[in-house]
């Protein structure tokens, strides 16, 4: 009896031997066999015990859940948390598809030096501290960890808490993922953070074509803060969104300038340049506003710092923090053209006023000014009296008078932005309570604000039209 291969597909699911001729009889009972042959018995194989096989394989090949420790160190919360918070200011705070862009870079040496780097490709912040090595770290290890999460986690611990950091292999890392994890322990608390490939971390490299000078932190911050107030903010003229730094190595000083096109501030301060440099490759640069804001919060007023300037980068190094900023690539306007030499120009009259009184009058009159223009009228008369007045669209008004001293009478009558005048007056805190305002009888001539105690600090305010 001939049988086809398909006959075996109708075998029942039980594990007993089945005679093929009986199956064929069920399928085609009317067909008679052509040749009589012995009945072939098909013995189905017993299904394998897959449960036992899987367990055996998993026990022999699956790695243990306990990660392999490659290094650990301990440090007090008060030593590392402020450092992480400082460096976190340099990390990209916006959402990004590149995971490493939201990380900070940790570098631990076998001698216990911990360096932290935060960078968003525009600014880079480096800070360092000492840690106690517990095990491992036979060579320098670099790790990239999510910055904001680490910062919030460390700040949640108490200042006196001792934290133990373990860098271990991550057994749960999927194919293509980075293979390390950072474990943080303190008492009964334990956390594990994912690590990312540090080789792709952004870095700002200083070129050899640079200018180096030393300056006190206080002088540098003073000059930056006094000129940042007059610089532009999100202006389409991108080169105005920062301060202009002019280097004068032959006289050992730097000049800083900030302007938004309507007002200008300039300050000069002492700096000690490297005497080995006979000529400098860089004479001036534009430092972005965003970088200055971070520098102000990172550098204390005490001590000195070293400043390195190239065509593309500026680096400020202190014993505690190093800040590197990318510079604005653009041409700064010729600011000297709008700053009149009031000492030599006979059209200008020096009017001296009490600074605190002038600030109060400007603040009060500004309440009555037009909200769009905040314009105030400044009228100097023959009685050596300055009348400051304001009106608005709802017919509200205010007027006040202040006495001034001058070598001759001024009859200047001009309109000025209240905020610009108030900002200029605020920059002379720390000096005696007088201020010098230089005015011309021309309604279009700029107003110059200075102080006898520091002739290098100057503010220029352009009058409003109409």
pLDDT at 53: 43
Query: Per CATH, is 345-461 categorized as 3.10.150.10?
Result: yes
Q: What percent of the chain has pLDDT over 70?
A: 83
pLDDT at 49: 53
Least confident range of 55-59, 258-262, 449-453:
55-59
pLDDT at 98: 87
For the ranges 48-52, 62-66, 145-149, the one whose mean pLDDT is highest: 145-149
Alpha carbon of residue 82 to chain centroid: 16
Question: Rounded to the nearest 10 degrees, what angle do helices 355-366 and 418-426 cross at?
Answer: 150
Closest listed residue to residue 274, CA positions, set 215, 317, 318, 204 = 215
pLDDT at 173: 64
pLDDT at 73 over 80: yes
**Per DSSP, what are the bridge partners of residue 147?**
none
pLDDT at 96: 81
Give 51's pLDDT tier (boundaries 50, 70, 90).
very low
Give 28's pLDDT tier (boundaries 50, 70, 90).
very low
Give 70's pLDDT tier (boundaries 50, 70, 90).
confident
CA–CA dist 242, 289 (Å, integer): 4
CATH architecture of the region 69-200: Roll (3.10)
Sign of CA dihedral 449, 451, 455, 456: negative
Work out the mean pLDDT of the chain and round it to a whole number.
Answer: 87
3 state SS of 261:
coil
- Helices (H) and strands (E) counted in the chain, each on its own, are 8, 28
| Rg (the chain; Cα; Å) | 38
**Per DSSP, what are the bridge partners of residue 183?**
166, 192
pLDDT at 11: 44
Least confident range of 165-169, 375-379, 380-384:
165-169
Domain boundaries, the chain: 5-61, 69-200, 211-326, 345-461
pLDDT at 110: 93
pLDDT at 175 over 80: no
pLDDT at 59 over 60: no
DSSP code of residue 405: B
Closest listed residue to residue 173, CA positions, set 63, 38, 30 = 63
Alpha carbon of residue 153 to chain centroid: 20
Buried/exposed 130-140: b ≥16 CB within 10 Å, e otherwise: ebebeebbeee
First to last CA, the chain: 117
Q: How many CA atoms lie within 13 A of 379 on its CB side?
A: 11
pLDDT at 97 over 90: no
The region that residue 179 occupies, defined by phi over 0 for left and psi between -120 and 50 for alpha, beta otherwise, is alpha
Buried/exposed 438-453: b ≥16 CB within 10 Å, e otherwise: bbbeeeebbbbbbbee
Residue 109, number of CB atoms within 10 A of its CB:
14
Give 157's pLDDT tier (boundaries 50, 70, 90).
very high
pLDDT at 451 over 80: yes
User: Which helix (H) or strand (E) covers residue 419, if one does?
Assistant: helix 418-426
Average pLDDT over residues 22-50: 45
Do you know the residue count of the chain? 466
- Asked if the domains 69-200 and 211-326 are classified in one and the same CATH topology, the answer is yes
Average pLDDT over residues 70-77: 94
Spatial contact of 229 and 423, defined as CB atoms under 8 Å apart: yes
Give 25's pLDDT tier (boundaries 50, 70, 90).
very low
CATH architecture of the region 211-326: Roll (3.10)
Spatial contact of 407 and 350, defined as CB atoms under 8 Å apart: yes
More confident residue, 30 or 95: 95
pTM of the model as a whole: 0.81
Task: From residue 370, give the alpha-carbon distance in Å to each of 44, 304, 402, 424.
Answer: 98, 45, 22, 20
Listing DSSP states for 79-121 in one string gives: HHHHHHHHHHTTS--S--SSGGGGEEEEEE-TTSEEEEEEE-S
pLDDT at 94 over 90: no
Strands (E) across 251-327 are located at 253-259, 263-270, 272-273, 284-288, 304-309, 313-317, 321-326
216-267, pLDDT tens digit by residue? 999 999 999 999 999 999 999 999 999 999 999 999 999 999 999 999 999 9
User: Which helix (H) or strand (E) covers residue 182, if one does?
Assistant: strand 180-186
Average pLDDT over residues 306-320: 97
CA–CA dist 439, 462 (Å, integer): 11
pLDDT at 176: 52
pLDDT at 42 over 70: no
Give 22's pLDDT tier (boundaries 50, 70, 90).
very low
Residues with Cβ within 8 Å of residue 246, at least 6 apart in sequence: 254, 255, 256, 257, 283, 284
Listing DSSP states for 19-81 in one string gives: EHHHHHHHH-TTPPPSS--PPPEE-PPPPP-HHHHHHHHHHHHSPPSSPPEEEEEEEEHHHHH
Give 20's pLDDT tier (boundaries 50, 70, 90).
very low
Spatial contact of 260 and 239, defined as CB atoms under 8 Å apart: no
């Amino acid at each position: 009896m001939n049988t086809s291969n398909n006959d075996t597909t109708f075998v029942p699911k039980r594990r007993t031997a089945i005679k093929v001729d009986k199956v064929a009889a069920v399928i085609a009972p009317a067909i008679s066999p052509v040749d009589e042959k012995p009945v072939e018995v098909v013995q189905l194989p017993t299904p394998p015990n897959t449960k036992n096989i899987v367990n055996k394989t998993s026990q022999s090949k699956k790695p243990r859940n306990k990660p392999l420790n490659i290094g650990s160190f301990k440090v007090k919360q008060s030593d590392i948390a402020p450092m992480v918070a400082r460096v976190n200011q340099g990390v990209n705070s916006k959402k990004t598809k590149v995971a490493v862009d939201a990380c900070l870079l940790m570098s631990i040496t076998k001698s216990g030096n911990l360096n932290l780097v935060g960078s968003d490709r525009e600014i880079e912040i480096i800070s360092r501290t000492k840690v106690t090595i517990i095990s491992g770290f036979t060579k320098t290890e670099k790790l990239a960890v999510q910055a904001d999460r680490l910062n919030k986690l460390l700040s949640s611990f108490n200042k006196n808490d001792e934290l133990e950091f373990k860098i271990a292999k991550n057994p749960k890392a999927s194919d293509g993922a980075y293979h390390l994890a950072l474990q943080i322990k303190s008492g009964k608390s334990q956390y594990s953070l994912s690590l990312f490939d540090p080789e792709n971390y952004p870095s700002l490299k200083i070129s050899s074509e640079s200018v180096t000078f030393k300056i006190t932190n206080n002088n540098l911050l003073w000059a930056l803060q006094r000129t940042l107030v007059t610089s532009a903010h999100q202006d389409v003229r991108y080169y105005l969104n920062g301060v202009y730094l002019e280097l004068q190595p032959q006289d050992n000083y730097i000049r800083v300038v900030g302007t938004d096109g309507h007002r200008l501030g300039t300050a000069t301060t002492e700096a000690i340049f490297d005497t080995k440099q006979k000529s400098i490759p860089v004479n001036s640069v534009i430092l972005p506003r965003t970088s200055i804001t971070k520098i102000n919060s990172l550098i204390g007023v005490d001590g000195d710092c070293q400043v390195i300037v190239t065509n593309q980068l500026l680096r400020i190094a202190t014993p505690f923090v190093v800040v590197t900023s990318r510079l604005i690539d653009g041409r700064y306007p010729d600011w000297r053209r709008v700053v009149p030499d009031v000492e030599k120009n006979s059209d200008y009259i020096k009017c001296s006023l009490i600074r605190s009184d002038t600030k109060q009058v400007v603040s009060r009159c500004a309440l009555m000014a037009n909200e769009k223009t905040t314009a105030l009228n400044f009228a100097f008369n023959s009685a050596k009296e300055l009348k400051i007045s304001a009106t608005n669209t709802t017919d509200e008004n205010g007027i006040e008078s202040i006495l001034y001293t001058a070598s001759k009478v001024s009859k200047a009558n001009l309109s000025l932005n209240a905020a610009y005048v108030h900002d200029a007056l605020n920059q002379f805190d720390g000096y005696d309570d007088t201020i010098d305002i230089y005015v011309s009888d021309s309604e279009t001539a700029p107003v110059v604000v200075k102080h006898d105690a520091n002739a290098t600090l100057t503010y220029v305010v352009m009058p409003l039209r109409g």
